[in-house]
Amino acid sequence: MDRARKRKLGNRYLTILPLLALGLVSCKDKEKEVVEEKPELAIVEPKENIEFGFNLDEYVVRRDTVKSGESFGEILERNKIGYPQIFHIAEKTKETYDIARYFQKGRPYTILCSKDSLELPKTFIYQPSLEEYVVINFKDSIHAYKSKKPIKYVEKLATGVINSSISETLDEQGISPVLTNILADNIYAWTIDFRRLQKGDRFKVIYTDKYIDDSIYVGVHDVKAAYFEHNTEPFYAFRYETDSIKGIVDYFNDDAKTLRRAFLKAPVKFSRISSRYNLKRRIAVYGYKVKPHKGTDFAAPIGTPIMATAAGTVTKSSYTRGNGNYVKIRHNGTYETQYLHMKKQNVKAGQHVNQGDVIGWVGMTGYTGGPHVCYRFWVNGRQVDPFKQKLPAAEPIPDSLKTKYLEFIKPIKYRLDNTNFKPQNVEDSELTQPEIRQATS
Ligand SMILES: [Zn+2]
């Protein structure tokens, strides 16, 4: 064995030591778990209080959050650790996790102290995020490691019949508004206008909720599948990975067709249509003369990002007295779009933009009574109402994946189809709502 190899082995041996110690701890825990599995014992013995991989019952546990301007060293000093040792700890742990550098006001930390009269700190645990935690062991040899709390995804199914709005329908069932956003802005952004839902529209959604440590609810993780009935027309959506290497995931319907259109329904999120395309509009200030409105106005607060509704090339980014700051985009030989009254543009003529790119911000420049974006849509040089157009679909699912996809969605579709809506109708919903609330609270 040569010297270099010996040194290497030596180093490895050193780094294994703390791991061995850890291994012993976890073996011990496993033994206890086995004992617990016997049902008669499980009832008598209280459950072990495990967190961060430690049995908290074996320590005096001190929990707090980092205060403004407080340093790692100050906290240690307050907990009976002297300066030479603090310096030593900081140096030793720098490589694994430079705690002093990432220490942030408001983040929680936990100190595990010996369960004796001295109450000496044995372990320091810092939580840079809800999921992650850093453990610094002071006992025996100092070492640090990063770990993550166990994450659990729970699949859920929600159904509802819309009375006023989808968010209200979900809210009544205690479901996060994030689910509405995923449905409205991601899955059905191209097929259903969520600002124009009808009373009686109904839906079923299979989604996953994310939990940390079995108990902390993080939120809706994603939607696996959905069925949305709008104006009695059914729209299925199934989440499918079309490229596992690049991790490309998209939603397709029960016919393997894409739900995306080449154009977004609206250039702004969370807005309302304040004025529609109307060739016979009469306006009071013009003596009720016909003043056609060839755009669709989306009212939104000043500064709201305006998105390109489709990929294309910016042909104009300029100003006129009527339009104010505006952007015009040519998408192909057929389609053009224009966005008026911007506070400020974010693109220059000649620039290529992708669908969803921010091209400017909502403002009040030009002739306008309030903050909005006037969205104009051209087909072959003629201004039309984009909501009356059969817009082209985006890229379909590749032929090579179609059979596999249809096979994949079969059991999911079966589950959706065999789930009943609740409540069944408007009258029922009014009667059963209080009961539902009671059952969930
Ligand atoms: Zn307008």
Spacing, Cα 197 to ligand 1 middle (Å): 22
pLDDT, tens digit (0-9, with 9 covering 90-100), for 112-153: 999 999 898 999 999 998 889 999 988 777 888 889 988 999
Spacing, Cα 368 to ligand 1 middle (Å): 8
Please report, as a single letter, which amino acid is at residue 80: K
pLDDT value of residue 341:
96
Spacing, Cα 183 to ligand 1 middle (Å): 27
pLDDT value of residue 362:
96
pLDDT value of residue 156:
94
Position with higher pLDDT, 167 vs 237? 237
pLDDT at 41 over 70: no
Looking at residue 388, the DSSP 8-state letter turns out to be: G
Spacing, Cα 299 to ligand 1 middle (Å): 10
pLDDT value of residue 435:
31
Cβ-proximal residues to 17 (8 Å cutoff; 6+ apart), any chain: 141
Spacing, Cα 374 to ligand 1 middle (Å): 4
Residues 379-406, mean pLDDT to the nearest whole number: 87
Please tell me the distance from the alpha carbon of residue 422 to that of residue 351, in angstroms, as a whole number: 49
Q: To the nearest whole percent, how much of the chain has pLDDT over 70? A: 83
Task: Return the structure tokens found at 84.
Answer: 């030479």
Spacing, Cα 296 to ligand 1 middle (Å): 5
Given pLDDT bands bounded at 50, 70 and 90, which one contains residue 172?
confident
Spacing, Cα 168 to ligand 1 middle (Å): 30
Spacing, Cα 185 to ligand 1 middle (Å): 23
Spacing, Cα 431 to ligand 1 middle (Å): 43
Spacing, Cα 268 to ligand 1 middle (Å): 14
DSSP per residue, 279-293 = TT-EEGGGTTEE--B
pLDDT, tens digit (0-9, with 9 covering 90-100), for 176-188: 888 988 888 788 8
Spacing, Cα 356 to ligand 1 middle (Å): 21
Spacing, Cα 352 to ligand 1 middle (Å): 25
Looking at residue 113, the DSSP 8-state letter turns out to be: E
Position with higher pLDDT, 144 vs 226? 226
Spacing, Cα 375 to ligand 1 middle (Å): 7
Position with higher pLDDT, 331 vs 88? 331
Spacing, Cα 378 to ligand 1 middle (Å): 14
pTM to 2 decimal places: 0.59
Spacing, Cα 294 to ligand 1 middle (Å): 7
Q: Yes or no: say if 113 and 164 are a contact pair by the CB < 8 Å rule.
A: no
Please tell me the distance from the alpha carbon of residue 417 to that of residue 435, in angstroms, as a whole number: 25
Spacing, Cα 297 to ligand 1 middle (Å): 5
Residues 11-15, mean pLDDT to the nearest whole number: 36
Beta strands, E only, 216-355: 216-230, 233-243, 248-252, 272-275, 282-283, 289-290, 296-299, 305-307, 312-320, 324-330, 335-345, 352-353
Given pLDDT bands bounded at 50, 70 and 90, which one contains residue 344?
very high
Spacing, Cα 295 to ligand 1 middle (Å): 5
Task: Output phi, psi for 75, to 5 deg.
Answer: -65, -40
pLDDT, tens digit (0-9, with 9 covering 90-100), for 66-100: 999 888 889 989 988 888 888 888 888 887 777 77
CA 308 to chain centre: 22
Spacing, Cα 371 to ligand 1 middle (Å): 11
Spacing, Cα 341 to ligand 1 middle (Å): 9
Q: Yes or no: say if 226 and 234 are a contact pair by the CB < 8 Å rule.
A: no
Spacing, Cα 313 to ligand 1 middle (Å): 22
pLDDT value of residue 154:
93
Spacing, Cα 192 to ligand 1 middle (Å): 22
Spacing, Cα 287 to ligand 1 middle (Å): 19
pLDDT value of residue 279:
81
Spacing, Cα 322 to ligand 1 middle (Å): 10
Spacing, Cα 437 to ligand 1 middle (Å): 43
Looking at residue 274, the DSSP 8-state letter turns out to be: E
Spacing, Cα 47 to ligand 1 middle (Å): 64
- Averaged confidence pLDDT in the chain: 81
Spacing, Cα 290 to ligand 1 middle (Å): 15
Spacing, Cα 386 to ligand 1 middle (Å): 13
Spacing, Cα 201 to ligand 1 middle (Å): 29
Burial of 126 (0-12, 13-18, 19+ CB in 10 A): buried
pLDDT at 230 over 60: yes
pLDDT value of residue 14:
36
